[in-house]
Amino acid sequence: MRTLLELHARGLQLRFVGKCLHALPERVARDEDRSARRRGGSRLNFLVPRRLPWLLLISVAVFVVDRLTKIWVAKHILLGGAIPVVPNVLRITHWTNDGAAFSLFADSASPHAVRWGLVTFTLIAAAAVLFALVRLGNRFSVASVALALILAGAIGNVHDRIAYGSVVDFIEVHILNYHWPDFNVADSAVVSGACLLLLDSLRNRETQQETAQNAGDVRSSKEEAGSL
């Protein structure tokens, strides 16, 4: 009788162990799935920095302003016409530009090649700017805002080149006897962003020089104290 009970108990133990072994792969799979979700979440947080949506919102806002102003000019001002804003200083005009910003390459003998060359270059540049913006997107800074402006300007003009073959320029500025080439909001955004990047670079260089100078002063003070 005791032998039968022992055999029965061992059978129950074996069945219990079998059930545990059978459930083990499912448990491991669930654990791996949770780990994968956690890893995926951390990658998502890395790819979408906290401030990036707000920086992209700046780009979208500038792009929308650029599009609305171009549409308004095309509807309300005849090609070649102008509306004076500040006499002898500022006028709202209506011109189409087949070249780059500020009418560069507009008189090229191969406008088709210029158009698609500019489109290709601008798309590559916009991708590079977007990549840099993602890397700097964890905080607002002069550099990140500058990149957002450049991205908006690049997309604004490349949209016109792809859709219409040319860009609408409408801001005409006269400084004394100098006539600045007509431009638009997208051009202004690109130039403003580039100037901000330059100023930020100069400021960082000055900060690095001051830091190096302070470190040198501290080192000299320590050496003098040690010699005493």
pLDDT at position 5 over 50: no
Q: Are residues 161 and 122 in the same domain?
A: yes
0.85 cut: is pTM over it?
no
Nearest to 187 by CA among 127, 68, 100, 84: 100
In a domain, 227, yes or no: no
Q: Are residues 189 and 108 in the same domain?
A: yes
**Parent domain of 20:** 1-47
Q: Are residues 210 and 150 in the same domain?
A: yes
In a domain, 84, yes or no: yes
Nearest to 189 by CA among 148, 135, 141: 148
Q: What is the pLDDT of residue 41?
A: 47
Q: What is the pLDDT of residue 117?
A: 87
Tell me, yes or no, if 169 is annotated catalytic: yes
Q: Assign 15 a pLDDT band (cuts: 50, 70, 90).
A: low
86-108: per-residue pLDDT in tens? 998 999 999 998 866 555 665 56
Q: What is the pLDDT of residue 187?
A: 94
Domain count, the chain: 2
In a domain, 175, yes or no: yes
Q: Are residues 3 and 115 in the same domain?
A: no
Q: What is the pLDDT of residue 6?
A: 46
- Alpha carbons 180 and 188: distance in angstroms, whole number: 13
Q: Pick from 29, 47, 65: which residue ends a domain?
A: 47
104-155: per-residue pLDDT in tens? 665 565 667 778 888 999 999 999 999 999 998 888 899 999 999 999 999 9
Listed in sequence order, the residues at least 6 apart from 190 whose beta carbon sits closer than 8 Å to its beta carbon are 101, 149, 150, 153, 154, 157
Q: What is the pLDDT of residue 196?
A: 96
Q: What is the pLDDT of residue 207?
A: 73
Nearest to 168 by CA among 86, 93, 107: 93
Q: Are residues 67 and 36 in the same domain?
A: no
- Alpha carbons 163 and 158: distance in angstroms, whole number: 8
Q: Given 31, 169, 182, 200, which residue is catalytic? A: 169
Q: What is the pLDDT of residue 28?
A: 41
Q: Are residues 91 and 177 in the same domain?
A: yes
In a domain, 87, yes or no: yes
Tell me, yes or no, if 66 is annotated catalytic: no
In a domain, 133, yes or no: yes
pLDDT at position 42 over 90: no
| C-alpha angle 132-137-138 in degrees, rounded to nearest 5 | 140
Q: Are residues 164 and 126 in the same domain?
A: yes
In a domain, 224, yes or no: no
Q: Are residues 81 and 163 in the same domain?
A: yes
Q: How many helices (H) and strands (E) does the chain have?
A: 5, 4
Give Rg (Cα) of the chain. 32
In a domain, 36, yes or no: yes
Listed in sequence order, the residues at least 6 apart from 17 whose beta carbon sits closer than 8 Å to its beta carbon are none
- Greater confidence, 55 or 208? 55
Q: Are residues 39 and 65 in the same domain?
A: no
